[in-house]
Amino acid sequence: PVGFDYDPAGRVRLDPDVRVQESLRQFFRTFRRTGSATATVKAFRADGLSFPHRIYRGPQAGELSWSELKHSRALWLLHHPRYTGAFCFG
């Protein structure tokens, strides 16, 4: 998932792109402050913030893209077990 990468040994690590890391940290900080996925999405939109995602198909597969944060994406992030602790606790 976005925000994670694999090191040469195949271990999961945080994405080395600090913009991606900061975007995810901002997402979880905003969620902690607002208390809901809807309010988090609204805050991102009000602040003009984009959110990263990886393209998985086609000629641009593997590339990073930035777009408006969608409510479905916010819910996916909040329920995905990979994010448990990684961006909340470093």
Q: Give percent above pLDDT 70 in the chain.
A: 93
51 — phi, psi (to 5°)? -130, 140
* Confidence tier at 42 by pLDDT (50, 70, 90): very high
Return the pLDDT at 89.
Answer: 47
Of 32 and 5, the structure prediction assigns the larger pLDDT to: 32
Query: Model confidence over 11-25: pLDDT tens digits?
Result: 988 889 999 999 999
For tokens 């198909």, name the residue.
Answer: 57
